[in-house]
Amino acid sequence: MAHEAVQLRHVTRRYGTGGGAVTALDEVSLDFQHGTFTAIMGPSGSGKSTLLQCAAGLDRPTSGSVAVGGTELTGLSETRLTLLRRRQIGFVFQAFNLLPSLTAGQNVALPLRLAGRRPAPARIREVLERVGLGERMRHRPAELSGGQQQRVALARALITRPQVLFGDEPTGALDSQTSREVLTLLRDMVRDEGRTTVMVTHDPVAASYADRVVFLVDGRVDGELCAASAQEIAAQMAQLEDVTC
Ligand SMILES: Nc1ncnc2c1ncn2[C@@H]1O[C@H](COP(=O)(O)OP(=O)(O)OP(=O)(O)O)[C@@H](O)[C@H]1O
């Protein structure tokens, strides 16, 4: 494919005005290539979540441009942006955000229902099987472990076959063993299905599952590592946190 999966050019996001204004992102330019797994790291308040929200079309930059799958988001109406998000983007958060009264299968079907489509039961089963939960279709969230709930949330994000999957601390609420299972699943999906994945994390071990780690400091890109170990990533983070203290 000719274009990047996600392209940010000189993206600035400012909150507020006057003396109390905060520049959460400051002229960030980044490309996320098709079929790659990128982790975004940086000290608290460095702009990681803002970057993800702008890249996913959930927030609009103050200036600069974002393109997803070759479509420029700047200037799209809210309706067209919503349609693009539904078709091309999946999102998983630290909180699983499942509806407690719905079964796993019904939760997974929700994005299609919201788009006015009738989900085929076979497709729901296929996606739940992909995350290892084919037998749990009729279970409600309270009957599932944290890791299983996050896998249902992942299946829900994948039901529309998005080009790009964004995760904001997707393993932040999981113990280390369960985190590893979810991260392995994410990495396998990138490798086997070419699902471009961008994940914010505080955890160097989680980041080591990615092909590339981009570091943010004060809303700017401050270096990156490729195919790095958790130790290398932790060392880089310690250095950045020292500098910003
Ligand atoms: N809605 C908002 N209104 C005002 N300021 C905001 C808003 N959202 C974020 N900020 C500010 O923008 C900066 C970047 O925030 P952001 O949440 O992107 O950082 P982060 O790196 O994800 O932080 P953390 O690791 O603590 O979650 C911070 O200074 C934050 O206080």
Closest C-alpha to ligand 1, atom 13? 24
Confidence of residue 245 (pLDDT cuts 50, 70, 90): low
- The tens digit of pLDDT for each residue in 91-112 reads 998 888 999 999 999 999 999 9
Mean pLDDT of all residues in the chain? 92
Residue 45 Cα to ligand 1 midpoint, Å, equals 5
State residue 186's pLDDT score.
92
Confidence of residue 87 (pLDDT cuts 50, 70, 90): confident
Domains of the chain: 6-244 (3.40.50.300)
State residue 10's pLDDT score.
98
Burial (Cβ within 10 Å: 0-12, 13-18, ≥19) of residue 233: buried
Which of 40, 44, 49, 216 to probe ligand 1 with, by most ligand atoms within 8 A of CB? 49
Q: What is the mean pLDDT of residues 14-33?
A: 94
Q: Are 119 and 159 in contact (CB under 8 A)?
A: yes
Instruction: Say which residue, 19 or 198, is predicted with more confidence.
Output: 198
In whole angstroms, what is the distance from residue 223 CA to residue 245 CA? 18
Give ipTM to 2 decimals: 0.97
State residue 1's pLDDT score.
52
Core vs surface per residue 82-91: b (16+ CB within 10 A) or e: eebbbebbbb
Cβ within 8 Å of residue 38, ≥6 positions away: 32, 197, 198, 199, 210, 211, 212, 213, 214
Residue 123 Cα to ligand 1 midpoint, Å, equals 37
pLDDT at 146 over 80: yes
pLDDT at 228 over 60: yes
Concatenating the DSSP letter of every residue in 167-202 gives: EESTTTTS-HHHHHHHHHHHHHHHHHH--EEEEE-S
63 in helix, strand or coil?
A: strand
- The tens digit of pLDDT for each residue in 151-209 reads 999 999 999 889 999 999 999 888 888 889 889 999 998 999 899 999 999 999 999 99
